[in-house]
């Protein structure tokens, strides 16, 4: 079995160098990071010696999802083989495996109006933007991110107003935190003024790939619209730099509960040791591990997908061996639009007058069920 790369960064350590050699004020500016993204082979090859698979992607690619990375995140990739695998394209993406599709979760089939996915009875996904600062190569929404799609917010807001059963709105994309404070504030204010909306959630990877974006100004905007929750996409403990810790703690100090979403990736984070380090590190950054996703069958993702047995093995290696708060729910987002289905190792052996149970150490116990 291929060994997963162990973290090369010490927790909380900042990037070793400002790789563009610009002023610290520019390097620490999210607008500079965004406008200086590396999007092509010429610039990338100045910083990274690409292998044959990586070079072939740029030479022959007709893949939907283009390459994009912030200078900050590239500085982490230079130290981490795990992060490199997750965001640097490879010609392996040209291989289409059984069961893969452009829209594996059938989001378009559960989209009643532009920018809205309404799969569950009381909540909707609101797609605010088709833009991300860093394009993860296993992105389930690559059909959107690849085109940088712009949504008509009016249609989505009207749909939410008209459907009073909706109490929870998840704002995602793309990455909504790549938008300006003004746009974010406008959208959140329009959602919050709808009386039957109880909570708003934001899905983002910005604290991991561009933590400079989490400014005091942004937190001031977000704080206005609580209860507001944030789900942050983390891949590996190599993302837990000093800047990332500061960004997450700033959000937490603004009263925003933080949860993590992690995709299980072959050769990147598919071991108990690596996953435990990530989950325990997240708790230290004020982030509660929430979901561990089985990789969605997006086209060209076969080299990323592990077996389901591997995911169960990781959960079994976490449950009981670390804090319960550090154990995410392992789920498959069912292909075709069936929603998230949780999976657990076999702890229940037999159900009857006595329930036979197996604990984290493999020992059996009985519980009276009368």
Active site residue 136: yes
Active site residue 358: no
Host H or E run for residue 156: helix 153-162
Active site residue 295: no
Active site residue 122: no
Among 119, 137, 205, 250, the active-site one is 119
Sheet containing strand 329-334, strands side by side: 116-120, 123-127, 168-172, 199-204, 228-233, 258-264, 288-294, 329-334, 339-343
Active site residue 213: no
Reduced to 3 states, what is the DSSP secondary structure of residue 335?
coil
Active site residue 141: yes
Active site residue 291: no
Q: What is the pTM of this model?
A: 0.92
Q: Are residues 214 and 247 in contact, defined by beta-carbon separation less than 8 angstroms?
A: yes
The per-residue pLDDT string of the chain (370 residues; one tens digit each, 9 = 90 and over) reads 344 444 444 445 554 468 888 999 999 999 999 999 999 999 999 999 999 999 999 999 877 799 999 999 999 999 999 999 999 999 999 999 999 999 999 999 999 999 999 999 999 999 999 999 999 999 999 988 876 678 999 999 999 999 999 999 999 999 999 999 999 999 999 999 999 999 999 999 999 999 999 999 999 999 999 999 999 999 999 999 999 999 999 999 999 999 999 999 999 999 999 999 999 999 999 999 999 999 999 999 999 999 999 999 999 999 999 999 999 999 999 999 999 999 999 999 999 989 999 999 899 999 989 8
Q: Which domains does the chain have, with CATH numbers?
A: 108-345 (3.20.20.70)
Among 37, 136, 159, 270, the active-site one is 136
Among 26, 43, 120, 356, the active-site one is 120
Active site residue 123: yes
Among 72, 84, 103, 132, the active-site one is 132
Cβ partners under 8 Å of residue 333, min gap 6 = 105, 140, 293, 294, 296, 339, 340, 341
Burial of 244 (0-12, 13-18, 19+ CB in 10 A): buried
Active site residue 132: yes
Active site residue 190: no
Among 123, 213, 266, 277, the active-site one is 123
């Amino acid at each position: 079995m291929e060994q997963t790369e162990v973290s090369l960064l010490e927790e909380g350590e900042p990037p070793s160098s400002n790789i563009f050699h610009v002023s610290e004020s520019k390097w620490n500016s999210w607008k500079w990071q965004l406008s200086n993204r590396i999007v092509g082979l010429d610039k990338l090859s100045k910083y990274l010696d690409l292998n044959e698979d990586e070079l072939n992607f740029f030479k022959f690619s007709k893949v939907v999802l283009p390459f994009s990375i912030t200078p900050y995140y590239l500085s982490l990739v230079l130290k981490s083989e795990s992060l490199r695998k997750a965001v640097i394209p490879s010609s392996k993406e040209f291989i289409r495996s059984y069961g893969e599709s452009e829209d594996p979760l059938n989001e378009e089939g559960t989209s009643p109006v532009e920018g809205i996915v309404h799969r569950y009875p009381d909540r909707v996904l609101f797609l605010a933007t088709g833009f991300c600062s860093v394009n993860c190569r296993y992105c389930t929404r690559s059909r959107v991110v690849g085109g940088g799609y712009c949504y008509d917010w009016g249609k989505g807001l009207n749909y939410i107003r008209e459907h009073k059963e909706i109490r929870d709105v998840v704002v995602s994309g793309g990455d909504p935190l790549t938008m300006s404070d003004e746009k974010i504030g406008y959208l959140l204010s329009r959602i919050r003024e709808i009386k039957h909306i109880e909570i708003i959630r934001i899905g983002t990877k910005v604290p991991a790939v561009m933590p400079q974006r989490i400014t005091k100004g942004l937190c001031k905007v977000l704080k206005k619209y609580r209860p507001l929750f944030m789900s942050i996409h983390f891949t590996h403990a190599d993302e837990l730099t000093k800047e990332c810790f500061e960004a997450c703690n700033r959000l937490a100090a603004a009263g925003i509960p933080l949860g993590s979403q992690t995709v299980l990736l072959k050769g990147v984070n598919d071991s108990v040791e690596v996953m435990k380090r990530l989950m325990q590190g997240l708790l230290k950054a004020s982030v509660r591990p929430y979901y561990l996703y089985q990789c969605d069958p997006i086209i060209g993702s076969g080299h990323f997908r592990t077996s389901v047995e591997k995911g169960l093995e990781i959960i079994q290696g976490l449950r009981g061996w670390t804090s319960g708060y550090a154990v995410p729910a392992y789920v498959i987002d069912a292909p075709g639009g069936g929603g998230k289905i949780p999976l657990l190792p076999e702890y229940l052996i037999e159900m009857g007058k006595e329930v036979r149970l197996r604990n984290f150490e493999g020992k059996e116990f009985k519980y009276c069920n009368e």
